[in-house]
Amino acid sequence: MAETPIRIRTEKLSAMYGKFTAVKNVSLAFAANRVHALIGPSGCGKSTFLRTLNRMHEMIPGGWIVGQVTLDGQDVYAAGVSPVQLRRRVGMVFQKPTPFPTMSIFDNVAAGLVLDRTLSKADRAEVVERSLRRAALWDEVKDRLGSSAVGLSGGQQQRLCLARTIAPEPEVILLDEPTASLDPQGTQRIEELVFELKRDYTIIIVTHNMQQAARVSDTTSFFYIGDMVEHGPTRKIFTAPTEAQTEAYITGRFG
């Protein structure tokens, strides 16, 4: 089997947005069709780093970056690159479910399709159904697609946000603590989906749950106070880390 191509890479990336912790000089490569976990204590730059990958940090006043982020070899910060189009290729799901409160379940999923003028009404309905099925939500909502999305449970809302993210067929999915506000059952459903979706997408997930990182990811990066301390296969990071700081965090001596 040929080596999996690189989908997204950072080179000497330093960044900050708003009052949030800066990341400093981070170089990482994320292979396609793998799950990559970002771990570390709160306030160490994991979410800041994640947001630079699709320029979401620019949504906060004062956000800045030096260095480079490439997607399939293209600098995503190059002149002429549309952040809106980039976010169709690198979608994101946030810590708290963010359904659009004034939209129906159907319209929430279809929201990411509005830029595609070639889709007919029937095509749009097909994409919405397919996305809801892939998010394991179709059977639960198929009879109330016109209802408000805020009537769904927290776990259902998060799966709806995941369906909305995958509807435009991105290459990369960014997950910023997607199960932090969910109960154990909702968490399990999201983790099962992550495992299934990596067949089609590259997934980068921020998590504070060490067990979750060990369960779902292929590679793990440990961040501490803005530095990327260690990166490698998840099994190695959790059983034989190279850095003493990583071992101290994994074993619960701090964080």
pLDDT tens for residues 183-239? 999 999 999 999 999 999 999 999 999 999 999 999 999 999 999 999 999 999 999
Evaluate if residue 243 carries a pLDDT over 90. Answer: yes
- Measured between alpha carbons, how far is 210 from 233 in angstroms, rounded to an integer? 14
Query: Hey, where are the domains in the chain?
Result: 6-94+170-250
User: CATH: 3.30.70.330, 3.20.20.70, 3.40.50.300, 3.40.50.2300. Which one for 6-94+170-250?
Assistant: 3.40.50.300
Query: What is the rounded CA–CA span in Å between residue 232 and residue 29?
Result: 11
Is the model's pLDDT at 4 over the cut of 80?
A: no
CB atoms within 10 A of CB 242: 13
Q: What is the pTM of this model?
A: 0.94
Give the separation between CA 120 and CA 125, rounded to whole angstroms. Answer: 9
Please state, in angstroms and rounded to a whole number, the distance separating the CA atoms of residues 73 and 120.
Answer: 32
